[in-house]
Amino acid sequence: MVINTKKSCCLRVGPRHKVTCNNITNINKIMLEWCKEIRYLGACITAANLYCCSFKYAKQAVYRSFNAICGKIGRIASDEVVLELFKKKCLPVLLYGTEACPLKKSHRVFPVCGSQLFCQNF
């Protein structure tokens, strides 16, 4: 099987995730790089002691989509319309991939992200 080394990388999860490993090479003697985080299908998996995910890219995407909505409608729409657009367009962006990622107490992205958006705009 041919591995595309430009799109592939290695990641360690477990108590020895900080230990340096030997390089993995393919048939053509091209080495795969070791990464601290991998983005796969919208979920950002990070190297740590336990399997965990990072939501920084999802948070950026929510801010980007909410800014796009506010840029299109401006102050013309009512607060109810803006809230409904947030629930329909921005919230799925934030929640996509959370089924694959175990949530911890440190992942307080969801309430913080929404409250920061609405405090800035209302």
State the chain's mean pLDDT as an integer. 78
Give the angle subtended at the CA of 37 by the CAs of 57 and 62, to the nearest 5°.
5
Residue 64 one-letter amino acid: R
**pLDDT value at residue 110:** 57
Taking the model in full, what pTM does it have? 0.64
Residue 3: is its pLDDT beyond 70?
A: yes
**pLDDT value at residue 108:** 58
Model confidence pLDDT, tens digit, residues 62-101: 888 888 888 888 778 888 888 888 888 888 887 777 777 7
User: Domain spans of the chain?
Assistant: 9-52, 55-121
d(CA 90, CA 62): 5
